[in-house]
Amino acid sequence: MKIIAACARYTTPDDLKSLQIANDADLAALAAEGAFDGVERIELQFPKFTDGRAFSQAVLLRRRHGFTGDLRATGDVLIDQLVQMARSGFTSAVLAEGVNAAAAERQFARFAGFYQGDALEPRPLFARQPSEATHDHREAA
């Protein structure tokens, strides 16, 4: 997962075709309108870090709408939610203002594996082979 400090967000612009979606948007309606066609990045919103709707939106975009581009978490993004975001299908995150990325990396290294399937490993622990019980949630940042 690519982690971007708040201050770095605009200093490294890219020219990906981006779409911003509110966390109460109707994804099925947007898909029906063709809103995701040709889109390379979708930015989802965390207006407060305690508002978890965008986790489900990310899951739906990956699983139901087959979105394969960059899925970016924006808004009140804190380091203790980054692993959850990666597991829900986000591939990049812009940290909230004032959040230090230094403590982020060790969060990804902490757990050897999880019980549920997720965006990175769809099979739950019980459906994996014992040798596959652990998997690495880090990707090249």
For the bound state, the minimum distance from the C-beta of residue 139 to another protein, rounded and expressed in Å, comes to: 15
Q: Tell me the longest C-alpha to C-alpha distance in the chain.
A: 44
Near another protein by CB under 8 A: residue from 8, 22, 127, 141: 127
Q: Is residue 100 within the footprint of another protein (CB under 8 A)? A: yes
Q: Is residue 138 within the footprint of another protein (CB under 8 A)? A: no
Q: Using CB under 8 A, which of the segments 4-12, 14-22, 32-40, 59-67 binds another protein?
A: 59-67
Q: Is residue 132 within the footprint of another protein (CB under 8 A)? A: no
Contact status, residue 36 vs residue 19, Cβ threshold 8 Å: yes
For the bound state, the minimum distance from the C-beta of residue 36 to another protein, rounded and expressed in Å, comes to: 16
Measure CA 59 to chain center. Answer: 9
For the bound state, the minimum distance from the C-beta of residue 141 to another protein, rounded and expressed in Å, comes to: 19
Span 10-49, contacts to another protein by CB under 8 A: 49
Q: Is residue 97 within the footprint of another protein (CB under 8 A)? A: no
Nearest to 28, CA basis, from 57, 53, 70: 57
Q: Is residue 118 within the footprint of another protein (CB under 8 A)? A: yes
DSSP conformation class of 96: P
- 109: which 2 tokens? 């290294």
Contact status, residue 110 vs residue 79, Cβ threshold 8 Å: no
Return the H-helix or E-strand segment holding 104: helix 104-110
